[in-house]
Amino acid sequence: MKQYEIYMQKCFELARLAEGKTSPNPLVGCVVLNRNGEIISTGFHAKYGENHAERDALLKVSPKDTEGGTLIVNLEPCSHFGKTPPCADLIIEYGIKKVVIAIEDVNPLVAGNGIAKLKAAGIEVVTGVLADEARRLNEVFMTNIKEKRTFVALKTATTLDGKIATSSGHSKWITSSAAREEVKHIRAHYDAILTSSSTVIADNPTMRHKTKIILDRELKTDFENSEIYKSGNIYVFHNQKNASETIARAADEHIGLIYTPLKNDKLDIEFILKKLFELKIYSILVESGGILNGSFLPFADKIYHFIAPKITCDNSSKSAFAGKNITEINESLNFKFCEIQTFSPDILLTYYPVSA
Ligand code: AOF
Ligand code: ZN
């Protein structure tokens, strides 16, 4: 079993090579052993629409080599005709004797059918190897398919006292360049970055990324000069009637204006998330100030929190999460830590909400 865990880790590494490129498909890696237990091939699902991991690995070798061998993969092999024929059929064709899987596929077209097909062909199937890690690896895919909604991640960078800027808004830079480099990698894993008009106005970020989402209730950002409007696809959620008349540039091909109802005097986040899923934006990274972070926190699936070893000790510097008044500590939202990484001298804490 230990040996399978090592191969499964290898599958995760292979799968991660395609991070940010497979949406809305999962991240999948595969290792093939011959009958003597030696690795003879590896593969991964490199890009949406391309070969699945098992097909990628098997097509590099011949059935002569794989006869009686073992295939390790982090997701149940598929059983449906999609962009490619079923991986389960190819595994059977290649004479594989044993298949080791981390988790079942949640796609209703597959869910259990792939395993059933393999077993019906007399293949031994082992499941559940490093299942928790495998679920985390494909948390976006699983949320999309099971809950039919966009996965929401949130990133913040604070001092030890949880501050993101001084009271005047000064924040460059709280974290080191190593941490800021890592932020670029994190962004690449998500379909879009979401931010607020206040952040656009205060920081004038470029955010060169596939898709950008800006929450700008009163359409007060500078559409002509802000860096963010100069590249890529942009959706602006707002609450202004006759918006496109007021903002000529909004008629531009790459800016989509979306009228959004208000809820408690703010743009309705549930409405926005529903719209994003309809727009096939399957995962977002929220990068903003305390107020928007506070509003998104109840909807967040995951938080990336960089912490620099600095303390402002300032009464009025800005907090990473704001917008509420509570009196009892048990009114706080609760999270569970998942990982601590070091980007010296800073750390990155990754945590998940504890569902109520
Ligand atoms: C696998 N291995 O590497 C992947 C799988 O659109 P298609 O035809 O590529 O099919 C996508 C579905 O296939 C996806 O939703 C998931 O259920 C499965 N993806 N399966 O065995 C892979 N990428
Ligand atoms: Zn497949």
pLDDT value of residue 310 = 96
**In this structure, what CATH number is given to the domain that contains residue 111?**
3.40.140.10
pLDDT value of residue 297 = 96
Query: Which of the following is catalytic: 5, 19, 54, 253?
Result: 54
42: left (phi over 0), alpha (psi -120 to 50) or beta: beta
DSSP annotation of 299 reads: G
Distance in angstroms (rounded) separating the CA atoms of residues 5 and 261: 49
Residues 172 and 264 in one domain: no
13 is catalytic: no
Residues 45 and 163 in one domain: no
- The reply to whether 39 falls in a domain is yes
pLDDT value of residue 247 = 67
Q: Of 14, 16, 25, which is best to mutate to test ligand 1, by the most ligand atoms within 8 angstroms of its C-beta? A: 25
pLDDT value of residue 222 = 86
- The reply to whether 289 falls in a domain is yes
Residues 159 and 295 in one domain: yes
What does the block give as tokens for 137? 């690896």
- The reply to whether 316 falls in a domain is yes
- The reply to whether 31 falls in a domain is yes
Residues 277 and 290 in one domain: no
pLDDT tens-place string over residues 218-256? 999 888 888 888 877 899 999 998 776 666 655 566 788
- Which helix (H) or strand (E) element contains residue 102? strand 98-103
pLDDT value of residue 225 = 85
pTM over 0.85: yes
Low pLDDT (below 50) residues in the chain: none
- The reply to whether 49 falls in a domain is yes
Residues 84 and 172 in one domain: no
Which range of residues forms the domain containing residue 14? 2-139
pLDDT value of residue 351 = 98
pLDDT value of residue 228 = 86
Residues 311 and 356 in one domain: yes
Handedness of CA 157, 162, 167, 173 (dihedral sign): negative
Choose the final residue of a domain: 246, 281, 316: 281
- The reply to whether 144 falls in a domain is no
Atom of ligand 1 nearest to the CA of 56: 3
Reference 194, options 267, 112, 119; nearest CA is: 267
* CA 229 to ligand 2 centroid distance, Å: 39
Number of structural domains found in the chain: 3
pLDDT value of residue 245 = 67
Confirm or reject: Cβ of 53 under 6 Å from ligand 1: yes
**In this structure, what CATH number is given to the domain that contains residue 236?**
3.40.430.10
Confirm or reject: Cβ of 83 under 6 Å from ligand 1: yes
Residues 233 and 299 in one domain: no
Distance in angstroms (rounded) separating the CA atoms of residues 80 and 107: 10
Q: Are 134 and 98 in contact (CB under 8 A)?
A: no
Residues 24 and 113 in one domain: yes
pLDDT value of residue 85 = 94
Residues 298 and 323 in one domain: yes
